[in-house]
Chains A and B, each alone.
Chain A
Amino acid sequence: MRQFIRGIAENNHYQATHLLQILRQIQSRYHYIPEPAIEQLSELLSIPRPQIISVIEFYSFFHLIPRGQYELLISDSITDHMLGKKSLLDYLANKLGVAVGEVREDGVVSLDNTSCTGMCDQGPAGLVNGYALTRLDHSTIDKIAALINQQKPLDEWPNELFQVDDNIYKSGLLLDQQIEQGAALKSAFKRGLKETLKEIDYSGLRGRGGAGFKTAIKWQFCSEEQQSVRYVVCNADEGEPGTFKDRVLLNSYADQVFEGMTVCAAIIGAKQGFLYLRGEYLHLQDKLQSILDQRRQNGLLGNNILGAGLDFDIEICLGAGAYICGEESALIESLEGKAGIPRNRPPYPVTQGYLGKPTVVNNVETFLAAAGIAVNGGDWFANIGTEKSKGTKILSISGDCAHPGIYEYPFGTTIQTILNDCGADDVLGVQVGGPSGTFISNQEFDRKLAFEDLATGGSFIIFNSSRNILDMVHNFTHFFAHESCGFCTPCRVGTSLLQKQIDKIVEGHGSAGDVVALEELCQLVKNYSHCGLGQTAANPILTTLERYPDLYQDRLKEISYEPGFDLDGALETARRMANRDDAGAHLAQTQMESEHE
């Protein structure tokens, strides 16, 4: 082991910033991070031991105690649940003889849940040792269980288990035509870099990752900083449940994304770029690496790009299971090899980002669009869309519809049009923008896709009238509690309190005052949290409470007070120990309840 670890450390030039990448390799080899490895890394990388442990314990994909040789994770996205995830998971657990959350006694396999893996168009989905599994059903599960029980190495598993489709159903401005390799850079050099920035400004391009900040302004700010070293970062963390368009862009349009990053580097004066790829997209890594190699061979990366004196290269860094790392400053911390805890702002990344240097962080789609604009000019883009939202938006559509997949629309398109296109009927509502976005009811389908109306990073989840909204709220609320980084009090404690409160109401233990208390708590978490995660964690509750107050009220008991403490539940252990389950071994929660019985 010592040699193995020294080898990885050496390949990573003993850089503390590479801690995540190093831990990924150790986890993959040993299925946990052994104590001697921590000790050794602490010396080799000069990182104090507790700091290494805190990184391991922050990311879902790292473990201090051994997981199975086959680490199986099943996606917990609401769309997986809608496709029968729960019973599949039970079936799988049964087949393998391992409980969810546990490692089988022989150490061969472990099974657990994981947050949305970005396969909502082809779920139920999962991961085995980090590699995506799609379209799980009883027959694939039988196969997987057999392969695991025979201890077949992953590379001998049938390819179809890992098949990931693009599912592009509607293409527009961006997806219709990929630019030729090198075309954006050639245009940019020919037109001039200042002029190219002007075109991007003129195009009206705003960030596609959620916040919608104007891209040209971000690049301009970064280029104006009085620093010699700058960085370009492509945010491919894509953790918002229901979003998977960046997966498709990186699978089929990566060249253009890298080209957008290179144009950005030329404009702001960066020599180094990073693609921060979520760990769930490990299956894309080799392909992306070979595209980078090819670009290097073609003189589009490396020294003196296209003979124009630009030196720039791109490194791929993988995440390790943490939604918060999509937040730009948390992402930068993660790139530096640390836990993904959002920084205090100001300073913003454009002034002090990666290693304290000015850094542009943009979404995958933003870079894709920027490259297109560099070739085709600002008008090409600005002629489409609305006044405040120019161009098109690429959506990841999932849930109750005939054709879940990728759809590109001009901004300003109505929700109804989108629903018609993807074959959705009997629709109850749509979650636009993922759990952190807005739930709209079927009374609002004339609303439009736009920053000024319904903004979305790409997630678009459809629910038909057979669905229960509270199940969705329950799933989303648990997601946020699971993904809170824990840095600030309102989000760390607040998301857990929201989870408790929603559980209580959904399970029918809520009482009249609980909805008021719930709403008060939502406001607290929203208004006082440190970053976007906490600030939006209450949205599933707030947006549904606003539209369906009765839904909540109907779940409440007709008592004015329900204790937070479950008296009868507390006796469960005692009952088990005493081997009793008779009436005398149960306690009614309140006077009223016992009278009802």
Chain B
Amino acid sequence: MSKTITIDGKTIPFEDGQTIMDAAMAAGVYIPHLCHQPEFTPHGSCKLCTVKVNGRNCSACTYPAMDGQDVLNETEELIEDRKRITQMLFVEGNHFCPSCEKTGNCQLQAVAYHLNMLDNHFPLFYPDREVDASHPEVMIDHNRCIFCTLCVRASHEKDGKDVFAISGRGIHKHLIVNAESGLLKDTDVAATDHAAHICPTGAILIKRTGYQVPIGQRIYDHQQIDQVSLATEHPKHGE
């Protein structure tokens, strides 16, 4: 007999070693997430994927599925609080979506829409962050980094390089690159690297590809992030 959990009352099978997120995705249940991509080691930092497991808050992307768990995902409370967490990410950085090349393709923006976020709620931090346009092909706009570490993991796990790291503590966290100068141009990053394409926001962009897809025809312009995520992030549902 296969083991199961329930998510919002729906019975969902899982295999040993799967997280709640894995089991949910395989069953076509969307749990909002930003720092998670199935191909990389889960990180558990953004906390957007928080679900209630037998009454306790847990990160679905890291918490193992265990037989008989009663998981709550789409409760009013969780949706409201995930919206607040998303708002935290917005105010912490400088996200001027209308002037951002990623708009319409941005997962942060798409999650915000999905959670019906209409304002920032919290005071903006207006941090002083820089743009690193030194590299001929890849650029970093630190204003939009949400410290998901996907680029760090992609560079290490997929590209076999260590171009990126998150440095600093607390609110002073920042993305750094592997060069004495601290500039992207002096690293071994390439536009073909996985890491250069993984960023959920507009923090890492490939130069000279901007606006090739016009606004209005972008990924999240016509589809919600839940549909896109389920269709693209789990192969079984892309068919």
B88: which of A50, A57, A322, A490 is its contact (CB, 8 Å)? A490
> Chain A nearest CB: distance from B111 CB in Å?
12
For A57, A322, A565, the residue with the greatest tally of chain B CB atoms inside 10 Å of its CB is: A57
Residue of A58, A346, A492, A496 touching B64 (CB-CB under 8 A): A346
Tell me whether B46 and A50 are in contact (CB under 8 A).
no
Query: How many Å lie between the Cα of A58 and that of B177 in the bound state?
Result: 16
**By the criterion of a CB under 8 Å from any partner CB, how many residues of chain B are at the interface?**
41
Q: Is the CB of B123 within 8 A of A50?
A: no
User: Does A493 reach chain B (CB closer than 8 Å)?
Assistant: yes
A451-485: which have CB < 8 Å to B?
A: 481-485
Assess A528 versus B166: contact at CB under 8 Å? Given A489-B88, A490-B85, A493-B88.
no
A486-508 CB mask vs B (1 if < 8 Å, else 0) is: 11111011111100100000000
Contact B177 A50 (CB under 8 A): yes
Complex CA distance for A322 and B165, rounded to whole angstroms: 19
| CB 8 Å contact bits of A527-548 with B (1 = contact, 0 = none) | 1111000000000000000000
Inter-chain contact A486/B47, CB cutoff 8 Å: no
Residues of B within 8 A of A48 (CB): 162, 165, 178
In the assembled complex, the Cα of A50 lies from the Cα of B187 at a distance in Å of 11
CB distance from A480 to the nearest CB of B (A): 9
* Residue B75 lies at the interface, judged by CB distance under 8 Å to chain A: no
- Cβ A565 vs Cβ B62 within 8 A: no
Contacts A57-B168, A497-B122 given; does A486 touch B173 at CB 8 Å: yes
Q: Does B26 contact A (CB under 8 A)?
A: no
A580 adjacent to chain B (CB < 8 Å): no
**Chain A interfacial residues counted at CB < 8 A:** 40
- Determine the chain B residues whose CB is within 8 A of the CB of A486 once the complex forms: 147, 168-173
Known: A50-B165, A481-B170. A489 touches B62 (CB 8 A): no
The CA-CA distance from A486 to B173 in the complex, in Å, is 7
B14 contacts across to A, CB distance below 8 A:
none
Q: Are B167 and A344 in contact (CB under 8 A)?
A: no
Q: Once the chains bind, are A530 and B44 in contact (CB under 8 Å)?
A: yes
Query: A15: shortest Cβ distance to chain B, in Å?
Result: 19
A346 vs B91: C-alpha distance when bound (angstroms): 31
Q: How far is the CB of B187 from chain A (nearest CB, A)?
A: 9
Which residues of A have CB within 8 Å of B88?
A: 489-490, 493-494, 497
Contact A493 B164 (CB under 8 A): no
Given contacts A51-B162, A344-B59, contact A492 B177 (CB under 8 A): no
Total A-B pairs in contact (CB under 8 Å)?
115
- In the complex, residue of chain A having the shortest beta-carbon distance to the beta carbon of B121: A517
Q: Which residues of A contact B122 (CB under 8 A)?
A: 493, 497, 521
A53 contacts B165, C-beta separation under 8 Å? yes
Contact A57-B47, Cβ < 8 Å, known A50-B162, A565-B123: no
Given contacts A490-B85, A492-B173, contact A51 B165 (CB under 8 A): yes
B125 within 8 A of A: yes
Asked if B168 and A564 make an inter-chain contact with CB atoms under 8 angstroms apart, the answer reads no
* A493 contacts B176, C-beta separation under 8 Å: no
Q: CB-nearest residue of chain A relative to B175?
A: A50
Per-residue A-contact encoding for B76-92, CB less than 8 Å = 1, 0 else: 00000100110011011
Q: Mark B7-29, 1 if CB is under 8 A from A, else 0.
A: 00000000000000000000000
Question: Once bound together, how far apart are the Cα atoms of A41 and B89, in whole Å?
Answer: 34
Q: Quick check: is B180 within 8 A (CB to CB) of the other chain?
A: yes
Cβ of B94 < 8 Å from any Cβ of A? no
| B45 contacts A by Cβ under 8 Å | yes
CA A53 to CA B177, docked complex, whole Å: 10
- Interface: A524 (CB within 8 A): yes
Residue of B nearest to A493 (CB): B88
In chain B, what residue has the closest Cβ to A47?
B162
Decide: B171 and A489 in contact? CB cutoff 8 A: no
Please tell me if A572 contacts chain B, counting CB pairs below 8 Å.
no
- Evaluate contact between B167 and A50: CB separation under 8 angstroms: yes
Contact of A50 among B91, B164, B169 (CB under 8 A): B164
A488–B167 touching, CB < 8 Å: no
Nearest CB on B from A528, distance (A)? 5
B50 close to A (CB within 8 Å) = yes
> In the complex, what residues of A have CB within 8 A of residue B170's CB?
481-486, 492, 495-496
Given contacts A490-B85, A493-B89, A527-B57, contact A54 B165 (CB under 8 A): yes
Residue of B nearest to A564 (CB): B123
If A50-B178, A57-B169, A488-B46 are given as contacts, then 7 extra A-B residue pairs at C-beta distance below 8 Å, sorted by A number, are A49-B180, A53-B167, A54-B165, A482-B170, A485-B170, A490-B47, A492-B92
Q: List 24 A-B contacts (CB under 8 A).
A: A50-B167, A50-B177, A51-B165, A54-B165, A54-B176, A57-B168, A57-B169, A58-B168, A344-B63, A481-B170, A481-B171, A486-B170, A489-B46, A489-B47, A492-B171, A493-B91, A495-B171, A496-B170, A497-B122, A497-B123, A524-B84, A527-B81, A530-B47, A564-B123
The 10 closest A-B pairs by CB, nearest first: A564-B123, A50-B165, A48-B162, A493-B88, A54-B167, A484-B170, A344-B62, A486-B173, A486-B170, A57-B167
Residues of B within 8 A of A (CB): 42, 44-48, 50, 57, 59, 62-64, 81, 84-85, 88-89, 91-92, 122-125, 147, 162-173, 176-180
Chain A: residues with CB nearer than 8 A to chain B? 35, 39, 48-51, 53-54, 57-59, 322, 339, 344, 346, 481-490, 492-497, 500, 521, 524, 527-530, 564-565
